[in-house]
Structure 1
Amino acid sequence: MLALFKAKPLLDEQEQQWLIDTFVWAIENFDSDYFINNTDIVLPNHQFFPDAVSSIEEMASNVFERVTNYAGMHVWPIQLVGPAQLQPQVFPHFELSNSLRGAQSKLMVTPAHRVNVSFNPNQINQPQDLVASFAGTLATIMIHHVGVLPPGGKEFLPQASDALACFLGFGVMMSNTVYQFKGGCGSCYNPYANRQAALSESQTLFMHALICHFKGHQESKKYLKSHLRGQFKKAQKEIKALVNDTANPLLLALDEKKAG
């Protein structure tokens, strides 16, 4: 009888486990030291994006530079180009010394060409989509460079890119842009501005909550869309219980560092 009143979990057990496994994969392969010591939970506010801009190109360039820096990838051979300049390209071979990300990271050999990244001009009026799209692109480049497939293998690369973008600190924008409501004014809605999400809202929120738990971050909920805040709070509660019951030594060590 009591089971009738038991709260339904945010995700089923298989989804939840894949996201936890993917978080562990990210910690093991994408610079855990940078994550622990330097990753910020990036928020859609003036503190993180203070630049005044006067053109589409300037906005795209400034946002891209900010996102790249927050991801700790400022020395990576990546450049922003206009949409008309983006052509099929061969991923260059390059090596980094000292660390994968951050101030200690050094480009050992400059490749013959850089990785070109572009932007969707339709997203200029939806800056959170622009940030999330850049974050997802950087995550995809990072996975390609490191060359370690996520849990589930190659077919889960799109979902892993979304999850890794949350790991890089962009979970608020990733969560807010999974789905855009059309709103009351049909002419104001531009479907071409929406990013293509591979994780659902609930999955993205769970991953974001997982990152916030291990970063000890408490401020991001108020920056989520109002309909997401209850799900985020539920994810926080479920993650706390999961971590309390886990036997995974890596998660226990991370939790202890956070507490310390």
Structure 2
Amino acid sequence: MLTLFKSKPLLAEQEQQWLVDTFIWAAENFDLDFFTKHSQVILPTVEFFPDSVSSIEEMASKVFARVKQYAGMNEWPVTLVAPQQLQPQVFPHFEFSQHLRGEECHLIVPASHTINVSFNPNQINQPQDLVASFAGTLATILIHHVGVLPPGGKEYLPQATDALACFLGFGVMMSNTVYQFKGGCGSCYNPYANREASLSETHTVFMHALVSYFKNDKRSKQHLKPHLRGQFKKAQKEIKALVNNSANPLLLAYMPN
């Protein structure tokens, strides 16, 4: 009789396991040392984005610089250009020192050219979408450079890119921008401003909760959209139980005290 009152898991077991395996893939391939010592859960606040701007271009530039900094990729030759300047390009070969991200990350051999990325001008009035889009772009560059496929293989690359953007610390913005409510005023809704999400809201929130667990995050819940906070809380409980029952040495080694 008691099973009648058990709550349904947030995700199917197979889906949950893929997200856990993808977190482990991210930790093993994208500088666990930086994640452990320096990664933060980035919030959509003045604390993290304090810059004053006076133009679309300046806003895009300032936000990109912050996202690149928080991702630990300041040393990467990735440059923001205006949309009309973006041209097809070949991904250059990078050779880094021991670390992939952070202040100890250095190019051993100068890259033949920089990677140019751009922005969606429609997102200027939706800064969380702008941040999430930049985070996804940097995650894509990291995956391309490392060249290790995520769990499930090539067909799961889009979903893994979203998950890696959460691993980089941008789970709040990634979760908040999966779906944009159209609202009551059609003229206020701009579909061209929305980022293209590959993970559902629930999957993204779970991944964010997984990162938050290992970063001992106490603040991000209040910055999620109201309807996501219950999912986040539920994910936190499930993740705690999952890690406590796990035999994976990486999960056990980095669980918070």
What does residue range 93-172 of structure 1 map to in structure 2 within 5 Å? 93-172=93-172
Once the two structures are superposed, the pairs formed by residues 166-205 of structure 1 within 5 Å of their partners are 166-205=166-205
TM-score calculated relative to the size of structure 1: 0.98
Deviation per CA, 1:142-167, whole angstroms, max 9, x where unpaired? 00001100000011000000000000
* Map of 1:254 onto structure 2: 254
Contact 1:209 1:235 in 2 (8 A): yes
Partner Cα separation in structure 2 for residue 6 and residue 110 of structure 1: 57
Q: Is 1:244 matched with 2:244? A: yes
In structure 2, how many angstroms separate the alpha carbons of the residues matched to 1:115 and 1:13?
38
The residue type paired with residue 166 of structure 1 is C
Name the counterpart of 1:51. Answer: 51
Which amino acid in the other structure matches residue 230 of structure 1? G
1:18 counterpart residue number: 18
CA distance in 2, matches of 1:152, 1:90: 26
Match of 2:231 in 1: 231
User: What percentage of aligned pairs have identical amino acids?
Assistant: 74
- Report the TM-score when normalising by structure 2: 0.99
Distance across 2 between alignment mates of 1:111 and 1:242: 42
Do the aligned residues in 2 keep the contact of 1:77 with 1:110 (CA within 8 Å)? no
Q: CA RMSD in A?
A: 0.7
Asked if the contact 1:75/1:107 (under 8 Å) is kept, the reply is yes
Unpaired segments of 5 or more residues in structure 2?
Answer: none
Distance of 1:110 and 1:80 partners within structure 2: 19
Q: How far 1:110 sits from its partner (Å)?
A: 1.5
Structure 1: unaligned runs, 5 residues or longer: none
Give the residue type in structure 2 aligned to 1:151. Answer: P
1:4 deviates by 2.4
What's the CA shift for 1:77? 1.0
Deviations 1:173-206 (A, max 9, x none): 0000000000111100000000000000000000
* Equivalent pairs, count: 257
One-letter amino acid of the structure 1 residue matched with residue 85 of structure 2: Q
Between the aligned partners of 1:216 and 1:229, the Cα distance in structure 2 is: 17
CA distance in structure 1 between the partners assigned to 2:109 and 2:56 by the alignment: 33
Q: Distance in 2 between matches of 1:239 and 1:83?
A: 40
Q: Output the amino acid matched with 1:88.
A: P
Q: Secondary structure at the match of 1:79?
A: strand
Q: 4+ runs of 1 displaced by more than 3 Å? A: none
2:52 counterpart letter in structure 1: A
Q: Which residue of 2 aligns with 1:75?
A: 75
